[in-house]
Structure 1
Amino acid sequence: MISYGKTARCALAALCHLAKYYEDGIPLGSQKISEAINLPQTLVAKVLTTVSTAGLIEGTRGPKGGYRLSKAPSEINVYQIVKLFGQDKNNDDFCPMGPGWCGVKDPCPFHDTIQKLRDTTDKALRSTTLDNFASNP
């Protein structure tokens, strides 16, 4: 499972906003995006640079420049975005019994339940694409 924080949420919000304009091919600047998603422009610009480097969006410089998705919203899933800013967690990180139990000897009593939750979360992140958000405000 991926743990994600503010930067991952910002990137997801920014790309969901870009997904709304994919069909129009309109590039949007980080200032416009930040205003639309109500987050600081500096944070938006930072995450867009990371997402651009990963190839999920394209950036164009200049007065008519901005960012747009590099592929269709249906081809970009939430997992691809949040994994850029999150970190993979092993079982010890999610075990309520602490690192001294799970993975050392027998699994703790929560192990199977936690693993199912992690698997379900990963599956949901991988199966949810930006087109699910493109038509929503």
Structure 2
Amino acid sequence: MKHTEGLEWAAHACSLLAALPPDTPLPARLLAEFFDLPEPYLAKQMQKLSAAGIVETRRGPRGGYALARPPAQITLLDMVQAIDGPERQFRCTELRRCGPSGVADDKYLRPCGIARSMWRAEAAWRRELASVTLADILKMGMQDTPPEQAAKALAWFHDKLSQDTTARE
């Protein structure tokens, strides 16, 4: 399956939000800066996640994005559908009906084997995505992140969030 890079960005942003204490929203600029992403484009993805009820926007001097639900209640499928839409990825155009061998539409009793196979594969893919929560991703991330990277991330957040607090006072 091919997806927009916005899906990867959104999933990483959500996993970062899941790792933070619930009362710690992050401004879009810090989310973008942490992953070295263009802020306007990431903001578009965050708006899609917000519209889907995955993240919420908190206003005010300590505002930003936070998860709208606990990580265990947000699946990868939720994020895919928020960013890329709920439509099927494979779209059958009934190519077999075209050209010199095509016959009347009423002769085709069901979709072709290619479409049926692709749709079964996509259904399996969607079931797998629905079975993986943001809590699962967070757990995997904690296991997979080198300790040096985790220490650098904590130091970065401490520095940035303390700068934000000082600037707002």
TM range (shorter): 0.7 to 0.9
Structure 2 counterpart of 1:119, which letter? A
Separation in 2 of the partners of 1:70 and 1:134? 16
SS of 2:60's equivalent in the other structure is coil
Higher-Rg member (1/2): 2
Aligned pair partner of 2:62 in 52, 64, 82 = 64
How far has the Cα of 1:117 moved from its partner? 1.4
Aligned pair partner of 1:127 in 121, 124, 131 = 131
Answer yes or no: is 1:4 the counterpart of 2:22. Answer: no
Identity of aligned residues (%): 25
Unaligned ranges ≥5, structure 2: 98-104, 146-169
Q: CA RMSD in A?
A: 2.5
Aligned pair partner of 1:33 in 31, 34, 47 = 31
The one-character-per-residue Cα deviations of 1:70-111 (angstroms, maximum 9, x if unpaired) are: 1110100111111122241275x2x5xx53238x62543434
Structure with greater proportional strand content? 1
After TM superposition, the score normalised by the length of structure 1 is: 0.78
Name the count of aligned residue pairs: 130
How far has the Cα of 1:3 moved from its partner? 6.3
How far has the Cα of 1:37 moved from its partner? 2.5
- What's 1:52 paired with? 50
Separation in 1 of the partners of 2:5 and 2:13? 12
- What's 2:161 paired with? none
Structure with greater proportional helix content? 2
Structure 1 counterpart of 2:3, which letter? Y
After TM superposition, the score normalised by the length of structure 2 is: 0.65
